[in-house]
Amino acid sequence: MPKIHRLPDRAAETEKVTINLGPIDLGRIDLLVREGFYSNRTDFIRTAIRSQLGTHAAELDRTIARHRYELGLFDVTRAELEALRDAGETLHLNVVGLARIAADVTPDLARETIAELTVLGALQAPKAVKDALADRMT
């Protein structure tokens, strides 16, 4: 069975998240930025999120292991899926992070070879492939 490539973590790969904050919290953040504790609001919010994730690191590690998730960035190529198909095997991919299905993967190939797809984070794939796998995504 071909191996799915785990890519190194990259800070440049980001997703936009929108949050609503009250004016008092926002003012406090702006004050910390003005005083030089953080370079901008985004820097503060990223730092706060990383701090909370660090606080729950042990629980996250146990949950990832228990559910057998892969952690990181994963590329799924057409060649790998064709090799799975030719071997009569299917892929069960559970990712915490980013999963990318190559642009040249057809919807039919994806349906033939991807039995299960769970992505907690972001999935990048052609729309037609996402549509073809909609009933297999959790």
Could you write out the three-class secondary structure of 75-93? EECHHHHHHHHHHCCCEEE
Given this model, what pLDDT does residue 74 score? Answer: 87
In this predicted structure, the answer to whether residue 16 has a pLDDT above a threshold of 90 is no
Read off the pLDDT band of 14 (50, 70, 90): confident
Read off the pLDDT band of 106 (50, 70, 90): very high
Mean pLDDT within 56-85: 91
Given this model, what pLDDT does residue 8 score? Answer: 63
User: Which residue, 47, 50, 19, is CA-closest to 33?
Assistant: 47
Given this model, what pLDDT does residue 3 score? Answer: 54
Given this model, what pLDDT does residue 71 score? Answer: 86
In this predicted structure, the answer to whether residue 120 has a pLDDT above a threshold of 60 is yes
Long-range contacts for 99-102 (Cβ within 8 Å, ≥24 apart)?
A: 99/73, 99/74, 99/123, 99/124, 99/125, 100/73, 100/74, 100/75, 100/76, 100/124, 100/125, 101/76, 101/125, 101/126, 101/129, 102/75, 102/76, 102/77, 102/78
Given this model, what pLDDT does residue 5 score? Answer: 60
pTM, two decimals, is 0.74
In this predicted structure, the answer to whether residue 2 has a pLDDT above a threshold of 60 is no
